[in-house]
Amino acid sequence: MGRVQIRDNVWIKLSRRSMCDNCSAELCVYNTGKRVTECDRFTPALTAFKQCACCGAVFEVSSNSQALDYDRCAECNRHDWLCARV
């Protein structure tokens, strides 16, 4: 489980194992029980957005569940260099 801070006293718990664990779909024919890292049909139970600390893009928190740094978007989590925080 990962904890993402949305505001000063608001946190969301995310499962890092699979996107399907964070999805609101009760019955999904695309969920085979394997680890899912990307899904076009993903619908979060609670929608929360953050602004990336690196590039400034706004991203949906639940779709970024396997990130190493929850303050950065999925694209910024992929590259190896550090971002300068302004």
pTM above 0.75, yes or no: no
Q: Is residue 86 part of a domain?
A: no
Q: Is residue 83 part of a domain?
A: no
Query: Domain tally for the chain?
Result: 1
Q: Is residue 84 part of a domain?
A: no
**Beta strand pairing status for 10-14 and 2-7?**
antiparallel
Residue-wise pLDDT tens digits, 49-77: 889 888 889 988 877 777 778 888 888 88
Which run of H or E residues covers position 75?
Answer: helix 74-78
Q: Is the dihedral of CA 33, 17, 62, 55 positive or negative?
A: negative
Cα distances (Å, whole numbers) of residue 55 to 7, 33, 63, 64, 73? 19, 34, 17, 15, 8
Read off the amino acid at residue 68.
L
Q: Is residue 66 part of a domain?
A: yes
Greatest Cα-to-Cα distance within the chain, rounded to the nearest angstrom: 44
Mean pLDDT over the full length of the chain: 80
Range of the domain at 73: 2-78
